[in-house]
Amino acid sequence: MLKLFKRLLYSTRFSWVVLYFFYLQNISSTSKVQHPYKQESAWWVGKAETIGKGEGNLSVNISKLDSDTSKFARWGDNYAYHIGDLSAVSLPGHESKYIQRKYQSWAEALFQTYPAEEPTLKQPVYFFAKAWRSLEVGPWIEFGATRLTFLKYQLIGLASAAFGEVLLNREGKNRD
């Protein structure tokens, strides 16, 4: 899978970006999370772009996917990346300066107890990623070709309307 992901990124002259979700399926009636959607519910919508902050350079988030797990398309195991920051909250032994409120929300939603040596998921969690080209059309066809940042906020808005009580995104989420 990693080879395919890299081939897509490197073969298209940086015209691809990655949209990703993590989500739940088949929410049980005993779950703390109660809502009318029993099939799937989005918990997080995010993105990783191929272009970095410099002039047309490859983003450090994806530049060494085969040898460096610290960034790994925003899911890296270093601090300031999803797995690293979630680990700081859910595993013991991390300095308090690395514990962020956002990832405390993630840990609360995902794990039975935390911090723990071996956190146990409350229920299975799934991950979906799609390579996205800026020429593709998002959920509102009236807008035509949709750049990734705009697409991300469209999808957060949709997920917020459908799954607002479980969606963990804060930025772009509907406010009640």
Among the residue ranges 22-26, 73-77, 91-95, 110-114, the one predicted with the least confidence is: 22-26
Q: What is the DSSP letter of 35?
A: -
| Segments making up each domain of the chain, as ranges | 2-163
- 128-147 pLDDT, tens per residue? 888 888 888 988 899 999 88
Predicted TM-score (pTM) above 0.95 = no
Percent of the chain with pLDDT over 70: 78
DSSP 91-145: STT--GGG--HHHHHHHHHHBSSSS-SS--BSS-EEEEEEEEETTSB-S-GGG-B
Taking 70 as the threshold, does the pLDDT of residue 162 lie above it? yes
